[in-house]
Structures are given as structure tokens and as C-alpha cells.
Amino acid sequence: MNPRISHVAFRGAWRLRAQASLSNGWVCQSCRINSQLRSNFSTSRIFLEKPYYITTPIFYVNAAPHVGHLYTMVLTDIHKRWQVLRGKKAILCTGTDEHGMKIQRAATQANTPPKEFCDLTAETFKALAKRAGLSNDHFVRTTDVDHIEAVQYFWHMLKEREYIYESKHEGWYCVSDETYYPESAIEKRLDPLIGRTFMASQETGKEVEWTSEANYHFRLSAFKNRLLEFYKDNPGFIVPVSRMNDVVKWVSEGLEDLSISRPVERLTWGIRVPDDETQTIYVWLDALINYITKAGYPWAPGQEHALGWPADVQVIGKDIVRFHCIYWPAFLLALDIDPPKQILTHAHWTLGHQKMAKSTGNVVNPFFAIDRFGVDAMRYYLAHDGGISDDSDYANHFIVERYKKGLQGGLGNLVSRITRPKIWKVCHAVQAAKYGKLGVMSSRTEEQSIMLDELSKKVSAKMEDLNAGAALHAIMDVVYETNKFIQISAPWALAKAINEDVDPKIAAQLRSEINCIIYYCSEATRIVGILMQPYIPAKAAQLLDMLGVDESKRAFDDARIGADYDYGVPKDAVGKDAWDGLFPPLPVDT
């Protein structure tokens, strides 16, 4: 079916529904069906508590994804999996942003109809989410019918509350950023390659063009005080706090009303303004609503929170802070909808200390990176080195270093040292601990025990601060310290001292010492394996299988000393050499 024809047909159907229901509030067909389904389970426990809801930004489909997109996906997925580890129902939404002038121009240049162009690139982002091990519950596309209906209903409600008005608009428009910039945010720049001067955004460096047109505006200026009050009441709304300070400063300096439509002669590819065929809804108003589309908006009475809204965390890159931290809460407050609880704004990845950008081609293909290093190695590297406040520089040799030190030489080496030797058995050490036969702990063992007692609390505190990188560093510190502990304790030397000439009491004491060392090393490995599940899901599962940890004992509450006395018999081969270990050597050409 021609997408343009189906879109027109949908809009006609929407107008009929809207005209028939303006007096009592419009609810589209898909939402009526959803509300009926939800009402059937209204007494179910699943809706008694709001699910944890986390989102990635929806990714613009004017070009293929790069490793920066992979980082955002992985970071979001880690936080979602962490909540599941804590025993909570959690929902992750990701997707693609498919409307706007950039898409229209990109499709024209590719000599491809816009919808077909979007379909191809959206599938690439879907494939990346799958390859990255993303545990997403939704993949929203702004060309989806339920999203189009939600956007038009949202517009209708803004119009009903008189937050939308028509006016002529003049200003500097950036097609690349899909936004207008005030005169104060524009500067003249020189293209060093061709010597051409052009006007550009000070913030992004992208070229702007002067436009004059009649369109619709949102009364953003009316929300200055309300936004400032919201920020004051929710000081942790934006992470890190430095970007919260920037946003408060921007809003305090005053807000201009926001142009929220484009004349159809300039922009055909987008959602039409309800009851005005001459205007197309601004891509950022359209795009931001995706977050509530998959949370069931428009909601049936009493079901506002059933599918997760307000979002607990929305993860975005620092370049779209203004849209998510000013425009988005203003739109929601206009309709008395709760804004998200927190917005985690991460820094960028650079390549050669230059920002990765699809427009310049300075990017890393995430599929190639995963093929080369493996998905869990890439997840580990991105989480370990990725920046929240400050940018991080991407390089293959950094990945190799992290792999060799942290995964192969750290965690993989620890698993091998614990599970492979024939002179002791993990299950014997665990059973000795279960029945109180470990004997007296040395001072080193006591330090190891205290470290393990504190680990879950440390990691939990970092995750509460939305700092997954710092949490991972805390986990890896335990890996490194445990390798030092077993090296200094040298249980193999104690085992060597047990022979037929040794007094039985001394032999029993030596075995008790060995079991004590191996137990606290095994516990470190088990606890680390549990806490690493959000970061490296496949490898963490393999690690826990190697230790023989039952699937039912891999939750956060199990990540403490003595929580499990039934492991120690491997459920997966522990291997015999470096090549069949948990983290084998990287290929020679890597």
C-alpha cells in the first residue's frame, strides 16, 4: 500500500473520531482495545505496582548507527537489567525517529520513498539492538499507527487548553538539528576545506538558514516559572548535576515560544496537524511523545501508571538535553502529565578526539566492532570507559587492553584458578563452609570477607546514582583483589604439603585452610558473576554455570556471602587451557 495514501486515510478516520468525541475526550481505537485488555487484568498483581520504565532516545534514521548509539543502548540495558536483578518488573523502550526534513532530504538523495528509506534503516537499528543483547520490551517507530494517533491526540489536547496558536515565524533554522536558533546562538564560520563562509549554530556547529513562514507555536514562554519550580522540587532530575545547572540557567534567562509545525510545502514527511492539511507537526514534538506512546497514552482512567509512566529514567546523549529537559517536561506539564523522574545525560564518544558524527563520517561501525571483539567484550568496554560527564576516546587498542586486563587476565583467570585445579574442589569448600568446618580465618581472609560484605552495597549505591561505570569499577576491584588474595594465600603450596608423612591433624588443618581460601575466592567469583549479569549477560551466565550456581539463585539478594551453599559442581565445562576458558585470547590479527 502507498504509505502516503494510508496516511491520508488514517487522518480522515482520525477527524471523524475526533469530531464525534470532542465533548468527552477522544480515545483512538488501538487505545480503546488496549484499555479493554488492561481492564481485564486490573486486579492482577502486575498492575498493582508501577513497573520500572526506562528508555533510550529514539534514533534518527537518516544514516546507519555508529558505536555511540551502541553505547546508549548498552547503558540503558544495563540499568534495566539491574532493576530485574533487584527483582523488579522493568520495561525498556527503544526505537527510531523517522520524520522530519533531514529524513525527507536523505530519502530524496537516495532516490527512495521516505517510508521505504525509513524501513531499511529502522531494521538496521533493530538488528543492532538484537546484536547488542538489548532486553527491550518495545521498539517504537514514529511511523507506527499507534504513535501517530497518540501525537495527534496530544496536539488536540494542547490546542484545547489553548497552548497552541498560529503566528508568522522568522529565524535561523538548522535542518541537521531540526530546530530554530535565536540570533544570539548563531555565528559566522569558515569551511576550511572549500573556503566558504556560512552561518552556524554555536552549540553544534551545524549550518543554519534563514526562514520565514506561518506556522503553529507552543506557549513555551508561559512555562518558565513552572519549570524552574519543577527543577527546584526535583534536584536530581538531570544527571549529572552540571547539566542540571546548565538547564536551570537557560530557563532562568527566559524562554521563547516554540515553533511546532512546518508548512507542508517545506515538509511533507511527517504527521499532519489535525484539521489543517497545510501544516506538518514539528519532528521534536512528534518524537518526544514516543515515550508515552508505548506507556499506553492516551490512558484510560486509572491506568495512567499501569505500563510504567512516568519513566523512572530516560537515557540520552548530552547533545539533546535542551529538547528532553526543557521542551519535554513543558509539553507534559501543559497537560498535567508527570514528567520523567530522571534523565541520565551521557557524554560522547570521540574518535581521534573528534566527536563521532554521521554527517562527517567520523564513526565506528558497531556491527564490525561486535564481530571483532564479541558482544560482551564490547558491552564491558563501553560501560567501563564510557563517560557520563566527560567524553571518552574510542580506540581498538583500548578494547584489547580492557579485555586482556579485566576480562581475560582478571575475571577469566580467577574462574580458571578456582575451578580447574584437581587438588581441591569448589563443592567441598562450599560444604565445609555450610557445616562450619572452615576453621579460623587469617587476617587476609577476614579482609577478603569484609570486602565481599561491602560489595553489593557499593555497587547498589553507584547504580542508584545512575553511574553504571563506577559500579563496574567497584566490581572489577574485587576481581583484582581476589586474584591477589589467592596468589598470596597460595593454596597450592598448602596442598603440596599434605602427604602421607604429615600428621593427620595437621593434614586436616591444612585442608581446612585450603577450603577457607577457596571458599572465599569462590564466593567472590559467584557474587561478581551475579553482579556482572547486567553488563555481560552471556558470559556472566557461563561463569555461573561453571561454578554450578542454580538459575534460581542468581538474583541480587543472592550476591552476599553464605547466600548459597548448593553450588560447586560445574554445569558447564571449565576447560583445560587458555583457549577454552571463559575469555579466550583474542585473535592474533585483533
Mean of the pLDDT values across residues 205-228? 91
CA angle at 96 for the pair 93 and 100, rounded to the nearest 5°: 140
Distance CA 531, CA 515 (A): 24
Question: For residue 218, is pLDDT > 60?
Answer: yes
Is the separation of the CB atoms in 552 and 563 below 8 Å? no
Mean pLDDT of 415-423: 96
Q: At what angle do helices 366-373 and 67-85 cross, to 10 degrees?
A: 60
For the residues 273-288, what does the mean pLDDT come to?
95
pLDDT tens-digit series, residues 441-452 = 899 999 999 999
Mean pLDDT along residues 249-273: 94
| 41-80 tens-digit pLDDT | 333 344 468 999 999 999 999 989 999 999 999 999 999 9
Q: Please give the mean pLDDT across all residues of the chain.
A: 90
Arithmetic mean of pLDDT, 355-384: 92
So what's the pLDDT on residue 60?
94
pLDDT (tens digit, 9 = 90+) per residue, 80-124?
A: 999 999 999 999 999 999 999 899 999 999 999 999 999 999 999
The pLDDT of residue 371 is 96
Whether 89 contacts 46, CB under 8 Å: yes
Determine the pLDDT at residue 590. 57
Using 50, 70 and 90 to split pLDDT, how confident is the model at 212?
confident
What pLDDT does 141 receive?
98
What does the pLDDT read at residue 168?
77
Nearest to 530 by CA among 502, 493, 563: 563
The pLDDT of residue 19 is: 40
For the domain 398-580, what is the CATH superfamily, name and number? Isoleucyl-tRNA Synthetase; Domain 1 (1.10.730.10)
Residue 18 banded pLDDT, cuts 50, 70, 90: very low
Question: Rounded to an integer, what distance in angstroms lies between the CA atom of residue 590 and that of residue 574?
Answer: 25
Give the per-residue pLDDT at 48: 66
How many CA atoms within 13 Å lie on the side-chain side of 584? 10
Please give, one letter per residue, the 3-state secondary structure of 325-387: HHHHHHHHHHCCCCCCCCEEEECCEEECCEECECCCCECCCHHHHHHHHCHHHHHHHHHHHCC
pLDDT value of residue 548: 98
Phi and psi at 51, nearest 5°, equal: -65, 155
pLDDT tens digits for 303-340?
999 999 999 999 999 999 999 999 999 999 999 999 99
Please list, residue by residue across 247-283, b when 16 or more beta carbons sit within 10 angstroms of its beta carbon and e when fewer do: bbeebeeebebbbbbbebeebebbbbbbeeeebbbbb
Least confident of 17-21, 188-192, 403-407, 540-544: 17-21
Class of residue 378 by CB neighbours under 10 A (exposed 0-12, middle 13-18, buried 19+): buried
Joined grid coordinates for residue 500: 602421607
Q: Nearest to residue 227, comparing CAs of 239, 211, 244? A: 244
pLDDT band at 589 (very low <50, low <70, confident <90, very high): low
Give the percent of the chain with pLDDT over 90.
Answer: 77
- One-letter amino acid identity for 279? Q
Rounded average pLDDT over 366-385: 97
Instruction: Enumerate the domain spans of the chain.
Output: 398-580
SS (H, E, C) 119-182: HHHHHHHHHHHHHCCCCCCEEEECCCHHHHHHHHHHHHHHHHCCCEEEEEEEEEEECCCCEEEC
Which pLDDT value is given to residue 22? 37
Which pLDDT does position 257 carry in this prediction? Answer: 94
Candidate from 21-35, 73-87, 379-393, 460-474 with smallest mean pLDDT: 21-35
On whether the CB atoms of residues 297 and 138 are closer than 8 A, the answer is no
Find out whether 335 and 157 touch, Cβ atoms under 8 Å. yes
| Structure confidence at residue 12 (pLDDT) | 41
pLDDT at 31 over 70: no
User: Can you tell me the mean pLDDT for 212-226?
Assistant: 94
The helix (run of H) or strand (run of E) holding residue 103 is: helix 101-109
**pLDDT for the residue 279:** 96
Model confidence at 246: pLDDT above 80: yes
